[in-house]
Structure 1
């Protein structure tokens, strides 16, 4: 197991190298002059030249990349071209909100999806099953930004709800924090629940058809024992796979929800960096998101071996 983990960690380097090179090139080929964007149309040629020199934009591309990636390897993600602040502390600060939003959304998704998926599998082709399948189809089909807009409209008309302004950390004021985070978490959790629900239903159904389940039932085991101690554990691997992918996607894909609810998370930081052509912010944030994503995939792979003893990593 330890050998496998070390091998996977070593594999992170070529993956992150590819991501860093890709985002570096993409930011440079986007049309427009970043110095002109920052200083405005009234900037003098001397001011533009000085700004390019300050940020190293006058250097060849390979030198710019080597300077940036060399700093990343030492924990220095550079400074924002707009604010002059260090990029890494800002990323970590924004990541706290995005992580909380992802965690709450995933928790809501699991609470909704896994029980309903199990019930649908147990009552296959019944009205309950059809109802769960319709709900899961809606969850997969309806975009989260559309669901957020409709939910805000309904709550504002029926309960005079208004989107909270500003953000308060959980440890500063837990109740205020949950008041801010609960609606966006419900929106993202509902969108996640559709896919998890469908996967739970299909995986449990497949396991329930296996011979060992018939043997367990023939021995007189209660249905609750059959489902939760035998069927669900064996069905968890594909469910865990899709959960891991969704969490990794959410950590970098909450930008629309953060924009709608005015949440200063990592997604909003990337969007602002893109619109302002802030190379360092975008490059650092994308590389950080890629790192978190591959670490989540590693964690999911490790959990496989605990869920299924037949899986061993050497």
Structure 2
């Protein structure tokens, strides 16, 4: 297990290196630059030259990349070209909100999707099964932004309820924080629940058809023991896989929901930085999200051996 973990961590090096090169080149290819954005119509050749020299934009592109990546390797993601603040500090501050939103969305989806998926598998081809399948299909079909807009419209028009617009951290005021986070969590959790529900139903149904399940039932085990002690445990590996992927996607894909609900998360930080051509912020945030994503996949892989002792890593 330790040797496997070390190998997987070493494999992250070329992956993250490739991502860093890709995002660095993409940012350089975007039309416009931070100097033009900051100077506007008052830009002169002299003022542009001074700012480019100050930001290091006058250097060859390979030198700019080397300066940036060498700093990243020692934990220095640089400073924002717009605010002058350390990029890593801004990323970690915004990541706290995005992580809370992701975990709350995932939790809401799990407590709904997994039980309904199990029920649908047990009651296959019944009205209950068809109802669950329709709900899951709606969950994965309706876009997040459309569901968020519709939810806000219904609450405001029919119930005169408006969610708080000023973010309060969980530490400062847990109640106000949850009031602001619950609606975007429901929106994000809906799509996640639809996919998990479908996967749970199909995998549990497949396991229930296996010969060892028939043997367990023949020995007189109760249906509850068959489902929860044997079928669900064997079905959890593909469910865990899709859950891990969805958590990684949510960490980097909440930008639209953060905009709609006025949440100052990591997605909003990246969007603002792109509009302002703030290269260090975009590059640092994307690289950070990629690192978290691959680490989540590693954790999921290691959990496989816990769920199924037959899986070993050498």
TM-score exceeds 0.5: yes
Instruction: Return the alpha-carbon distance in structure 2 between the equivalents of residues 123 and 59 of structure 1.
Output: 66
Report the Cα offset of residue 276 of structure 1: 0.7
Q: For residue 15 of structure 1, what is the aligned residue in structure 2? A: 15
Aligned Cα root-mean-square deviation (Å): 0.6
Report the Cα offset of residue 33 of structure 1: 3.1
User: After the TM superposition, which residues 33-52 of structure 1 pair with which residues of structure 2 at under 5 Å, given as runs?
Assistant: 33-52=33-52
Q: For residue 238 of structure 1, what is the aligned residue in structure 2? A: 238
Q: For residue 64 of structure 2, what is the aligned residue in structure 1? A: 64
User: After the TM superposition, which residues 262-301 of structure 1 pair with which residues of structure 2 at under 5 Å, given as runs?
Assistant: 262-301=262-301
Instruction: Return the alpha-carbon distance in structure 1 between the equivalents of residues 115 and 231 of structure 2.
Output: 13
Matched, 1:254 2:254: yes
Secondary structure of the equivalent of 2:42?
coil
Secondary structure of the equivalent of 1:41?
helix
Matched, 1:155 2:150: no
Instruction: Return the alpha-carbon distance in structure 1 between the equivalents of residues 273 and 171 of structure 2.
Output: 28
Q: For residue 134 of structure 1, what is the aligned residue in structure 2? A: 134
Deviates most, 28-37 or 196-205? 28-37
Report the Cα offset of residue 42 of structure 1: 1.5
Instruction: Return the alpha-carbon distance in structure 1 between the equivalents of residues 33 and 189 of structure 2.
Output: 40
Q: For residue 103 of structure 2, what is the aligned residue in structure 1? A: 103
Cα deviation 1:94-143 (Å, max 9, x = unaligned): 00000000000000000110000000000000000000000000001001
**4+ residue runs over 4 A deviation:** none
Secondary structure of the equivalent of 1:274?
helix
Contact 2:34 2:81 survives alignment (8 Å): no
Report the Cα offset of residue 91 of structure 1: 0.1
Q: For residue 313 of structure 2, what is the aligned residue in structure 1? A: 313
TM-score, with structure 1 as normaliser: 0.99
Report the Cα offset of residue 226 of structure 1: 0.3
Report the Cα offset of residue 45 of structure 1: 1.5
Instruction: Return the alpha-carbon distance in structure 2 between the equivalents of residues 251 and 156 of structure 1.
Output: 28
Number of residue pairs aligned between Structure 1 and Structure 2: 314
Matched, 1:186 2:157: no
Report the Cα offset of residue 34 of structure 1: 2.7
Contact 2:76 2:88 survives alignment (8 Å): yes
Q: For residue 117 of structure 1, what is the aligned residue in structure 2? A: 117
Instruction: Return the alpha-carbon distance in structure 1 between the equivalents of residues 11 and 161 of structure 2.
Output: 48
Q: For residue 303 of structure 1, what is the aligned residue in structure 2? A: 303
Report the Cα offset of residue 32 of structure 1: 1.7
Q: Unpaired runs of 5+ in structure 2?
A: none
Q: For residue 220 of structure 2, what is the aligned residue in structure 1? A: 220
Q: For residue 167 of structure 1, what is the aligned residue in structure 2? A: 167
Instruction: Return the alpha-carbon distance in structure 2 between the equivalents of residues 32 and 252 of structure 1.
Output: 24
Instruction: Return the alpha-carbon distance in structure 1 between the equivalents of residues 212 and 10 of structure 2.
Output: 39
Q: For residue 80 of structure 1, what is the aligned residue in structure 2? A: 80
Q: For residue 3 of structure 2, what is the aligned residue in structure 1? A: 3
Q: Unpaired runs of 5+ in structure 1?
A: none
Instruction: Return the alpha-carbon distance in structure 1 between the equivalents of residues 271 and 194 of structure 2.
Output: 27
Report the Cα offset of residue 166 of structure 1: 1.5
Report the Cα offset of residue 38 of structure 1: 2.0
Q: For residue 90 of structure 1, what is the aligned residue in structure 2? A: 90
Contact 2:203 2:235 survives alignment (8 Å): yes
